[in-house]
Amino acid sequence: MKNLKEFKELLAVQSVSYNQIEMSDYLKSQLNLIAGVSFYEINESIFVEKGEGLKPCIVSHIDTVHSICSDLYPLHIDGNLTGFNRKTMTQTGIGGDDKVGIWICLEALKNFDNVKVVFFSNEEVGCVGSYSTNLDFFSDCSFVLQCDRQGNNDFVVNACGVELSSKEFQNSISKIIKKYGYGFSDGGMTDVMALKENGLDICCANMSCGYYNPHRANEYINIKDVEACTKMVFDIFDNFGGVKFLHKVSNGWDELQEMRCENCNNKVSYYKDMDDYFCDSCGMYGEEIKY
């Protein structure tokens, strides 16, 4: 990594949910150094814009789960970075979840003339910042990516049952993600899931970005994996940043006209993820309840 020193400087900045001021101040100081960037802060989340017209968007979160320690040192060992407290001489969390995502967001702002970024607050305690966000910010975005997953090969298109993107989007980028060793997968809760649950009508995705053992003292970051994820994001931006990929979230429930429950004669719905029928009134399920 040619700018490893800067990456380690970011990793040394500490933040924990509800105490993110050090990271927030660091980010604002970095944003002031990037030409063409404008930003504002709402409820501790930082919204960033660069350029005009349709833009790809990438988001991350600024909190970690690790308590702030007296002396966090990013220790570099054989291509990996881990956190070390030099006062206690013990390993501690490096906060790759989601400082790696923050790094990729900053790199996107430096390398693209047309881009939007959000640094969300308090993701680790329930996606507080993203759930409270005004979706108008994304009205001129082509799609929203997030780098907030451990490992090096997951491209998440479904988070906790929430559909994040369309088949059109997935088919369009499939060759790119395969080039970097990624495949489509399901994942857990994070900010892009919150945005989709709130009704964001464009495609989103979350992806592995090179941190391992998240939320633990022995967390570490693989530098080559971070570089690969960054290149993949840039590749997607280069090829599809000017294309708006629309998508409305589906929670799996499709109403079927004129279908009634044999037990109570009320409406029957179809749960497509389980390929089964469900009565909204009495709770019965299965093929036999409909007529």
Reply yes or no on whether the pLDDT at 289 is more than 70.
no
Q: Across all residues in the chain, what is the average pLDDT?
A: 91
Contact 113, 36 (CB under 8 A): yes
Q: Domain locations in the chain?
A: 4-240, 253-289
| Residue-wise pLDDT tens digits, 173-208 | 999 999 999 999 999 999 999 999 999 999 999 999
Q: How far apart are CA 264 and CA 286, in angstroms?
A: 14
Which band of pLDDT confidence, cut at 50, 70 and 90, is reported for residue 290? very low
What number of other Cβ atoms are within 10 A of residue 53's Cβ? 8
pLDDT above 90 as % of the chain: 83
The residue-averaged pLDDT of 274-289 equals 60
DSSP state of 151: S
What number of other Cβ atoms are within 10 A of residue 204's Cβ? 31
Helix (H, G, I), strand (E, B) or coil at 15: coil
| Residue-wise pLDDT tens digits, 228-262 | 999 999 999 999 999 999 999 765 444 334 466 66
Which band of pLDDT confidence, cut at 50, 70 and 90, is reported for residue 270? low
DSSP collapsed to 3 states, 165-197: CCHHHHHHHHHHHHHCCCEEEEECCCHHHHHHH
| Residue-wise pLDDT tens digits, 8-40 | 999 999 999 999 999 999 999 999 999 999 999
Q: How far apart are CA 211 and CA 196, in angstroms?
A: 24
Looking at residue 217, its pLDDT comes to: 96
Reply yes or no on whether the pLDDT at 267 is more than 70.
no
Looking at residue 70, its pLDDT comes to: 87
Nearest partner of 114 among 200, 25, 36, judged by Cα: 36
According to CATH, the superfamily of the domain at 4-240 is: Zn peptidases (3.40.630.10)
The residue-averaged pLDDT of 274-286 equals 61
Which band of pLDDT confidence, cut at 50, 70 and 90, is reported for residue 66? very high
Looking at residue 209, its pLDDT comes to: 98
Nearest partner of 138 among 199, 97, 228, judged by Cα: 199
The residue-averaged pLDDT of 50-71 equals 96
